[in-house]
Amino acid sequence: MKSILHCLSILTICLLASNCKKDKDASNDELDKSKLEASTLWDGRKLFDDPSNPFLQAIPSTYQVHPNSAQMIDLIKNSCGSSYTNTHIVAKDYSTPVYIADENTGRADIKITMYNMPAGKNYLQSIPIVRGSGAAGGSDMHYAVIDKSTGCLYEFWGFQNSKAYSGNAISIHSNGIFADGRSTVAAGWSQLLGTIWPSELKSGLIDHALTFTVSVTNANGHVAPATHNDGSFSNNPYAIPEGTLIRIRPDVNIDTLSGIGNYERIVYKAIQKYGMYCGDTNGAGLGIRAINTQSLMPDAYPSDFTLTSTYGTYVLKKFPFDLMQVVYSGPLQTNAASFVEQSCANWR
């Protein structure tokens, strides 16, 4: 009898182990498929392809330079350390991991605990969650998932499996901007708008505007295309409103700039043609967002795109502050928009 029970126990353990292995293998397969697609099939022009998306529009030759452009650029420059080198592409802890889902991906309702919920509702329903996926490692805990079957992007700030500080959803065929400002970044647009994708660095072309963060933002309002702001300075006339567009002067020949590498040239050419928009407030320096490496294949970014070991950033050499201009985008606006229903967001 003892021998039979012992055999049954061993059989049960083996079956459980086998099932666990199958579950783990399925989870790995789902995550690996997502990573491969995010690494190779997506870029900044495949998302938010509505013609009204300002990030897809080259700066016109008739643009106006902001009357305080020089002072605003100096304020950013001086916030980047004594040698002005705290300038980075952010590709790990404080960037967004993006996962690719389809009709077979499991779903869950996510409780929103702090911001952006409609009155009387605090759950975003039926969010596709790729097995094995997770939020970014930094304190912002950003998380995004593209559902190919619905054409919807779901994004969260402070994501913790079944809950998040804030979240929303938007069509990937929209312009990527939440009209009511209820996104998960301060400027009111999608986390992925203006983000650098690994396929773009490998191809040598970023064909859209970028998003950047600085610590010296304006708390008194934002400018278009932003629809919301937070901001850190309320008494500095040169503080940067979220939504501000900055560019490298069009008369500069990027190829002749000395002391920079290939990836700087790729980024700087995009900033010259399309510009970069201020999207959020950070703790220090200037950061340009790229897709988080944790949601990508190990070789997604080029092998010499070397990230620092602390926060996972690529240091931009000789950032050309002295060649930059602030584009005038109109007067300051305030956070007054009422709730706008998103077709992709199902609340309860």
Residue 183 and residue 72 share a domain? no
Residue 201 and residue 186 share a domain? no
Residue 214 and residue 149 share a domain? no
The answer to whether the CB of 88 falls within 8 A of the CB of 339 is no
E-assigned strand segments in the chain: 87-90, 98-101, 107-112, 123-128, 143-147, 152-157, 163-164, 166-171, 210-214, 217-222, 240-242, 245-248, 276-281, 286-289, 313-315, 324-327
According to the model, what pLDDT value does residue 14 have?
A: 47
Residue 332 and residue 241 share a domain? yes
Q: Across-strand partners of 213?
A: 280, 287
User: Is 15 domain-assigned?
Assistant: no
According to the model, what pLDDT value does residue 101 have?
A: 98
User: Is 255 domain-assigned?
Assistant: yes
User: Is 23 domain-assigned?
Assistant: no
Residue 291 and residue 260 share a domain? yes
- Domain coverage including residue 226: 53-94+195-337
Neighbour-count burial of 72, counting CB atoms closer than 10 A to its CB (0-12 exposed, 13-18 middle, 19+ buried): buried
Residue 305 and residue 260 share a domain? yes
Residue 185 and residue 200 share a domain? no
User: Is 4 domain-assigned?
Assistant: no
Q: Report the distance separating Cα 200 and Cα 193, nearest Å.
A: 14
User: Is 330 domain-assigned?
Assistant: yes
Residue 317 is encoded by which pair of tokens?
């050499």
User: Is 26 domain-assigned?
Assistant: no
According to the model, what pLDDT value does residue 209 have?
A: 98
Q: Which of these three, 141, 162, 191, is where a domain ends?
A: 191
According to the model, what pLDDT value does residue 12 have?
A: 53
Residue 289 and residue 208 share a domain? yes
Residue 222 is encoded by which pair of tokens?
């934002």
According to the model, what pLDDT value does residue 21 have?
A: 54
Residue 324 and residue 262 share a domain? yes
The answer to whether the CB of 38 falls within 8 A of the CB of 99 is yes
Q: Which of these three, 139, 171, 191, is where a domain ends?
A: 191
Residue 265 and residue 117 share a domain? no
Q: Which of these three, 191, 221, 242, is where a domain ends?
A: 191
According to the model, what pLDDT value does residue 6 have?
A: 56
**DSSP per-residue string spanning 103-143:** TTS-EEEEEE-SS-PPTT--EEEEEE--TT----SSTT--E
pLDDT in 10s for each residue of the chain, 348 residues: 555 555 545 545 444 455 545 555 666 899 999 999 999 999 999 999 999 999 999 999 999 999 999 999 999 999 999 999 999 999 999 999 999 999 999 999 999 999 878 889 999 999 999 999 999 999 999 999 999 999 999 999 999 999 999 999 999 999 999 999 999 999 999 999 999 999 999 999 999 999 999 999 999 999 999 999 999 999 999 999 999 999 999 999 999 999 999 999 999 999 999 999 999 999 999 999 999 999 999 999 999 999 998 889 999 989 999 999 999 999 999 976 688 989 999 999
For the chain, what is the domain count? Answer: 2
Residue 108 and residue 61 share a domain? no
Residue 77 and residue 150 share a domain? no
Per-residue pLDDT tens for 47-67? 999 999 999 999 999 999 999
